[in-house]
């Protein structure tokens, strides 16, 4: 499934949730569906900012990916495991958004991805921005990371829907 079709699927799924379902936290330490959507949107926009940073770079970066980054890109996906972020405010997405907010955010992500889709491969592959866990990534790698991240959260979405009885 292409990036844009996957985002469209997430948008379509939003139509099936009430505001209460989007905000419902099934257990302590587990995000609501709304928080998961907020996380997906914020991370995608951050990755797109890094695509732009690579495009604006003027110096080549010869450093590459970490071992984890090499494995990730060789696999073409995040490993099928739950990843627990540190309990910090910046890692706790909002749970008070309106139902329209995730749709607006996903539309914004789609629009920016469409803008970059045709030009991302024109960026010098040695212009890079650093990812904390995966090392130095170029514009194409940052762009591809968006799709990997959206696919990674599909299992979380299914699990949360199951807990909500959907």
Q: Two tokens at 162?
A: 């199951």
Host domain of residue 152: 3-163
Identify whether the C-beta of residue 136 lies closer than 8 Å to the C-beta of residue 65.
Answer: yes
| SS3 state at 101 | helix
10-residue mean pLDDT series, the chain (166 residues)? 82 92 90 94 96 97 96 92 72 82 95 95 98 97 97 93 90
The residues that bridge with 138 in the sheet, in sequence order, are: 128
CA 34, CA 94: separation in Å to the nearest integer?
A: 8
**Close Cβ partners of 12 (under 8 Å, ≥ 6 residues apart):** none
Q: Please, is 131 exposed, middle or buried when counting C-beta atoms within 10 Å of its C-beta (0-12, 13-18, 19+)?
A: buried
Spatial CA neighbour of 83 closest among 161, 149, 3:
149
The half-sphere exposure of 149 on its side-chain side, counting CA atoms within 13 A, is: 20
- The total of other beta-carbon atoms located within 10 Å of residue 88's CB is 7
Closest CA to 69 of 152, 138, 6: 138
The pLDDT of residue 29 = 83
Domain total of the chain:
1
CATH number at residue 38: 1.20.120.450
């Amino acid at each position: 499934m292409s990036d844009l079709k996957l985002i469209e699927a997430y948008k379509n799924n939003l139509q099936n949730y009430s505001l209460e379902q989007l905000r419902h936290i099934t257990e302590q330490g587990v995000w609501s569906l709304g928080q998961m959507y907020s996380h997906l949107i914020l991370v995608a926009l951050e990755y797109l900012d890094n695509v732009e940073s690579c495009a604006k770079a003027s110096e080549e970066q010869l450093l590459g990916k970490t071992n984890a980054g090499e494995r990730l890109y060789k696999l073409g996906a995040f490993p099928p495991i739950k990843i627990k972020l540190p309990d910090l405010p910046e890692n706790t997405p909002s749970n008070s958004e309106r139902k329209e907010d995730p749709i607006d955010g996903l539309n914004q992500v789609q629009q920016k991805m469409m803008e970059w889709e045709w030009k991302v491969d024109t960026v010098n592959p040695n212009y890079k921005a650093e990812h904390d866990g995966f090392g130095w990534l170029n514009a194409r790698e940052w762009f591809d990371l968006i799709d990997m991240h959206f696919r990674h959260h599909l299992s979380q979405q299914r699990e949360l829907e199951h807990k909500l009885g959907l």
